[in-house]
Chains A and B, each alone.
Chain A
């Protein structure tokens, strides 16, 4: 009764209903990942008797007596499999969560020649069962085809080159460790009972039967939860979000909200415990539509005090609003030669990071003080803010809580949120045992967060020559049942989208509204994607009304160096044009239109479209980062940063920055990260701040360490400080050379360590620019849209790592194409999410994703480290409007609602008689 795995016989019975994925993971084969647990994503791919299968839908008992190979067993005699090597050389990954699945699939298909000669169509078909949310597949295709990209820059030259990600070898061999890839003895498992009602009062929860289930240890209900209200959103300033959430509440406000938690020895017992809980609800009236929610007499979602809750108008279901203007829009509209007005809709979409939310918590003793400490290892983009939130929630001092983030399997904003840590912490404090909680893929859809759906009415006026005279927005955002990120997303969405244009008269009336639906939250672009879709669509249309080239209208009005950045209601004054590459971006986009693209099939309609976008390089109101650099005994460096790595590549960038400043090679810098025990503070890996904020702290630490090392060399070796220089591995001074190992030893003997710290406050802030251009072909008879060419131009300032930065752009474009063409979370009339699996919620596959040509403007930023700007969220933003503008150009029909699925496009064309 044994299973042979990677040449070893594994004992231990399989459970009757068990899938092979959990059987392998329970035995330490943690490279076998869960992306969906439903056969869709391929992250769990293993070979059974040499045949690749999705282990999550493979009954475990059928592996008995057979040979199983996992990613851990692919290498032969210590040599990586050729496919593993190719993924490393091409860096065919970002977060790497999907990589074992791609590698195992490719290895299962592999021939001596590899897949280099496989026709593109065939490759796309063969990999339709493997999803990647980060890369946009270009990097993966290059890996499959054996293209090499990774460089090995010389000492002191790493910035601007493309060394590989330090996690790479672990990612391709399956040894990289993500949140739940940890073996904790005695671990208990939590499952959450979720509300079947959109709005109800919990009158009673009978836990009797649940507690009688063998293995159930603990049931938590609202009676166990602290009364304190908070927000699941994580921001440097707690005041940015309303305090409207209770750990477990006696009122539920959306279908899927957690009602109770069951903690048990096994997942199975916890599930059974949930089924045995008897909850008595008083069902209350609910409102699921944002327009209806603000109508008089609508059910109130949060009947709370506006001052203490920070909800703008609780009784009107308005969590935040903005009514502001500059100039006089009415006069501006009167003086226009053409006015265009339309209303644009974007729907709920999900981050669909391949790793779901999860956390493991336990108690340990602080090594310094011996005091008991709560440790939470979680899938958070903001470990320090999570610690602060937990301390506030449970009245614990900061030194009694440690939050650690391992590698993250993608984030995209979804993990700038405390969705699991609070309830795991409560369970650990209660049970005093280690507890783990892992979201299912269905829970990601029904009970995590989504992008805010927006309805945006744009009114824009311009003169014959294209000069804008007025720009007016009316915005309604649906924040769902909780206001996490509601104010921030609303304000940010209405910020850079209009500040991008010089226009004397601007007016914005915007509100974010509660409904009894799954909460919205932070999502790549943070509101800008939604509002920019509307503004860029409207300006395109306005140009057409004026018989102007849409790019000409943009050029006439886009901000230029020296201009102020003006958005109605924006009260922050630290945003500057630290560098300006927008003109170059426009040139790229213009050139794209006059160069050849793939021909369209006969009978299809062809059109071009473009859009531009701007984003602040750093979120407002402070984004802090600490870094510490230490010389180690062997002459290499340890870099500690607070920010987390979720595939954005900041670890590589931080190594490059430190190595460049220290005049060494990247392999001599080891990065330790995302652990509250490491550095003082870090706001978190969101707002695209990994390079510009944490990177700035790293640069300061590195420069400070250079000084420290030179001082030390001068002191300990009696050298002339003024003539000392740091080179790779040594301090040199005229003819003297002090190797860093020696310097470390001398410092040690003197009782000091050679360490320096750097800090960054995230202000003043600059802006990045992006422009996208598509040529599309539309089949008027089916609504099918084919992308004939896709071109993206980005002003990222100094591009610290071209390979990675290109990857960020490609991944952002791909994710945006998902929101543009296929992704939509659907709700039934009660507000319950019905798209609960990746099978019905289509994220872009390899076959869906075109290659995008990526161009970088040649600029440097005055503010960012080495002149760099952020480039992570922003490539997402111009994609949807560029696509819709191209479809408009091809068909004559202006589509105002995303996503543009073929059935909607077809009916749109039919309705317009085309």
Chain B
């Protein structure tokens, strides 16, 4: 929709002061989908020409904030089965259609910080770290799990830019399992779980049923009971309550899908 209070677009390549009423514009698929009467200026990231995904010397993937979902999906398809499958399933976890993938970005998904943000699920599960640049030029690195602090809440300071998110090489070689529940086929995620098995190390990341990602790590695969107990302990009864499902149901599905993840990774006792 038209954002009629926006009176200016600034190219992010040009230096400039951050002002109240500014917003970074990535794909715009969220920004243009709701009224934004508080916005006056969009700072356009489209011309940054950051390479969508760079494979670093150690094999890590540095995904630019501006990498579109379509670009990530296409890139992953050229990589090994361990990664391509998980990335594609996360892309398909969007409620948004393939047409939205053409413009929506990974960075936009992270910064929007919706519980059902599938790029959050992906990067949080793989232990990815964000590179952030504050308005005064200060740079910092922050794990995805610390970036997302609640539903539509992040640790970004006013005007802070997400430059990229890096998935460490080690995580890319782990075995993974993906489970998702929704009230509808191809609907918004009500619970989305990703498990990884790296040697004996097992991790489980719970998203969409919780206000923010919950990552549980174990030196060795736990028993199903221990995993359930750990999930309940970590979530602390704070299951999400919105139109995508009641809390009790989401807890039930999360525990059930967690069992399946454990079983798939061959780690069930």
Q: Closest A residue to B41 by CB, please name it.
A: A16
Residues of chain B within 8 A (CB-CB) of A826 are 243
- Chain A's nearest CB lies how many Å from the CB of B104? 9
What are the interface flags for A611-630 relative to B under an 8 Å C-beta threshold, 1 for contact and 0 otherwise? 00000000000000000000
Do residues B2 and A52 form an inter-chain contact, with CB atoms below 8 A?
Answer: no
Contact A268 B96 (CB under 8 A): no
Instruction: Report yes or no: A903 in contact with B102, Cβ–Cβ below 8 A.
Output: no
Q: Does A432 contact B (CB under 8 A)?
A: no
B100 touches A (CB below 8 Å): yes
Assess whether B59 is interfacial by the CB under 8 Å rule: no
- B258 to chain A minimum Cβ distance, whole angstroms, is 14
Inter-chain contact A56/B7, CB cutoff 8 Å: no
9 smallest CB-CB distances across A and B, nearest first, come from A129-B97, A17-B6, A17-B3, A268-B4, A903-B249, A37-B1, A57-B32, A38-B33, A847-B185
- For B46, the closest partner residue in chain A by CB is A62
**Mask: chain B, 184-225; 1 = CB below 8 Å from A; 0 = not:** 111110100000000000000000000000000000000000
With A57-B32, A271-B4, A903-B246 as contacts: A842 and B184 at CB distance below 8 Å = yes
Residues of A within 8 A of B185 (CB): 124, 845, 847-848
The residues of B with any CB-CB pair to A shorter than 8 Å are: 1-9, 25, 28-29, 32-35, 37, 39, 41-42, 44, 46, 92, 95-100, 102-103, 181, 183-188, 190, 243, 245-246, 248-250, 252-253, 256
Give the Cβ gap from A58 to chain B, nearest Cβ, in Å. 6
Chain A 504-552 residues near chain B, CB threshold 8 A: none
| Residue A228 lies at the interface, judged by CB distance under 8 Å to chain B | no
- With A16-B7, A16-B42, A268-B4: A907-B249 Cβ-Cβ less than 8 Å: yes
CB distance from B259 to the nearest CB of A (A): 11
Whole-angstrom distance from the CB of A79 to the nearest CB of chain B?
A: 25
In the complex, what residues of B have CB within 8 A of residue A440's CB? 1
List B contacts of A901 (CB < 8 A): 183, 245
Indicate whether A39 sits within 8 Å of B33 (C-beta atoms), given known contacts A62-B46, A901-B183. yes
A39 touches B42 (CB 8 A): no
Task: Give the Cβ gap from A20 to chain B, nearest Cβ, in Å.
Answer: 9
Q: Can you give 26 contacting A-B residue pairs, CB < 8 Å?
A: A16-B41, A17-B4, A17-B7, A17-B42, A38-B34, A39-B29, A51-B102, A52-B99, A53-B103, A56-B33, A59-B9, A59-B25, A59-B44, A108-B99, A127-B97, A129-B97, A442-B35, A826-B243, A839-B95, A842-B184, A845-B186, A847-B185, A902-B183, A902-B245, A902-B249, A907-B249
Q: How far is the CA of A478 from the CA of B67 in the complex (A)?
A: 49
Min CB distance A699 to B, Å, is: 44
Do the beta carbons of B32 and A58 come within 8 Å of each other? yes
Task: Determine if A42 is an interface residue (Cβ-Cβ < 8 Å).
Answer: yes
Q: In the complex the two chains form, what is the Cα distance from A51 to B69 in whole Å?
A: 14
Given contacts A54-B100, A842-B183, contact A275 B249 (CB under 8 A): no
Q: How far is the CB of B22 from chain A (nearest CB, A)?
A: 12
Distance of A19 Cα from B9 Cα, bound (Å): 13
**What is the chain A residue whose CB lies nearest that of B35?**
A442
Complex: how many Å from CA A275 to CA B4? Answer: 12
**A105 in the interface, Cβ–Cβ < 8 Å?**
yes
Besides A39-B96, A57-B1, 18 more A-B contacts (Cβ < 8 Å) are A15-B2, A16-B8, A17-B39, A19-B2, A19-B3, A39-B33, A53-B99, A57-B100, A59-B25, A59-B32, A271-B4, A442-B35, A837-B34, A842-B187, A848-B185, A903-B245, A903-B246, A907-B248
Q: Are B1 and A125 in contact (CB-based, < 8 A)? A: no
Majority DSSP secondary structure for residues of B touching A: loop
Q: A45-B99, A130-B97, A275-B37 are in contact. Are A124 and B6 (CB under 8 A)?
A: no
A61 to B42: give the CA distance in the assembly, Å. 11
Contact: B99 with A19, CB < 8 Å? Answer: no
Give Cα distance in the complex from A16 to B40, angstroms.
9
CB of A57, distance to nearest CB on chain B (Å): 4
CB distance from A207 to the nearest CB of B (A): 20
Chain A positions 58 through 73: 1 when the CB is less than 8 Å from some CB of chain B, otherwise 0: 1101100000000000
Query: Which residue of chain B is the closest to A781 with respect to CB atoms?
Result: B256
Nearest B residue to A105 by beta-carbon distance? B99
| Residues in A234-272 with C-beta less than 8 Å from chain B | 267-268, 271-272
Contact call A42/B32, Cβ cutoff below 8 A? no
Least Cβ–Cβ distance between A906 and chain B, in angstroms: 5
Contacts of A58 in B (CB 8 A): 28, 32, 103
A310 within 8 A of B: no
Do A267 and B4 have beta carbons less than 8 Å apart? yes
Contact in complex: A39, B4 (CB < 8 Å): no
Q: Is the CB of A59 within 8 A of B4?
A: no
A147 to chain B, nearest CB (A): 23
Residue of B nearest to A906 (CB): B249
Chain A interfacial positions (CB closer than 8 Å to B)? 15-19, 22, 37-40, 42, 45, 51-54, 56-59, 61-62, 105, 108, 124-130, 267-268, 271-272, 275, 440, 442, 781-783, 822, 826, 835, 837, 839-842, 845, 847-848, 901-904, 906-907
Nearest chain B CB to A903 CB, angstrom units: 4
A126 to B8, CA, bound (A): 35
Q: Please state if A57 and B103 are interface contacts (CB–CB under 8 Å).
A: yes
- A45 / chain B contacts, CB cutoff of 8 Å: 99
Residue of B nearest to A61 (CB): B9
Q: Are B256 and A903 in contact (CB under 8 A)?
A: no
Bound CA span A581–B191, Å: 47
- Name the residue in A57, A271, A907 with the highest tally of chain B Cβ atoms < 10 Å from its Cβ: A57
B248 / chain A contacts, CB cutoff of 8 Å: 903, 907
Measured between beta carbons, the chain A residues less than 8 angstroms from B100 are 39, 54, 57, 129
In the complex, are the beta carbons of B98 and A126 less than 8 A apart?
yes
CB distance from B192 to the nearest CB of A (A): 14
Contact A907–B246 (Cβ < 8 Å): yes
Tell me if B183 and A39 are in contact (CB < 8 A): no
Q: With A and B bound together, what is the CA distance between A804 and B118 in angstroms?
A: 41
Given contacts A58-B28, A129-B99, contact A267 B46 (CB under 8 A): no
Contact of A42 among B9, B99, B103, B186 (CB under 8 A): B99
Q: Do A53 and B102 touch (CB < 8 A)?
A: yes
Complex Cα spacing A565 to B251, Å = 51
| Chain B residues near A845 (CB-CB < 8 A) | 184-186
Nearest Cβ distance between residue A47 and chain B, in whole angstroms?
A: 10
* Chain B residues, CB < 8 A from A59: 9, 25, 28, 32, 42, 44
Residue of chain A at shortest CB distance from B187: A842
Rounded to whole angstroms, the CA-CA distance of A15 and B3 in the bound complex is 9
Q: What's the Cα separation between A25 and B184 when bound, in Å?
A: 33
- Interface hub of B2, B6, B99, B248 (most chain A Cβ within 10 A): B99
Residues of B within 8 A of A108 (CB): 99
Set of chain A residues within 8 Å of B96, measured between Cβ atoms: 39, 129
A57 adjacent to B8 (CB under 8 Å):
no
Q: For the complex, what is the distance from the CA of A267 to the CA of B4, rounded to whole Å?
A: 8
Chain A residue contacts of B7, Cβ below 8 A: 16-17
> CB distance B97 to A128 under 8 Å?
yes
Q: Which residue of B lies closest to A51 (CB)?
A: B102
Residues in chain A near residue B37, CB distance under 8 A: 275
Other-chain residue from B2, B6, B33, B39 in contact with A267 (beta carbon distance below 8 A): B2
Q: How far is the CB of B261 from chain A (nearest CB, A)?
A: 16
Instruction: Specify which of A16, A127, A271, A847 is in contact with B184 (CB 8 Å cutoff).
Output: A847
Please name all residues of chain A whose beta carbon is closer than 8 Å to the beta carbon of B246 when the two chains form the complex. 903-904, 907
Q: Write the chain B residue with the least CB distance to A59.
A: B28
Please state if B9 and A56 are interface contacts (CB–CB under 8 Å).
no
What CA separation (Å) do A74 and B19 show in the bound complex?
43
Contact call B252/A906, Cβ cutoff below 8 A: yes
Cα A907 to Cα B245 in complex, Å, equals 11
Contact A16 B6 (CB under 8 A): yes
Cα(A15)–Cα(B2), bound, Å: 9
Chain B, Cβ-Cβ closest to A14:
B9
**Chain A residues with Cβ under 8 A from B92's Cβ?**
125
Chain A residues near B5 (CB-CB < 8 A): 17, 272
A49 to B70, CA, bound (A): 15
Residues of B within 8 A of A129 (CB): 96-100
B35: A residues at CB distance < 8 A: 442
Inter-chain contact A17/B33, CB cutoff 8 Å: no
Chain A proximity of B69: nearest CB distance (Å): 12
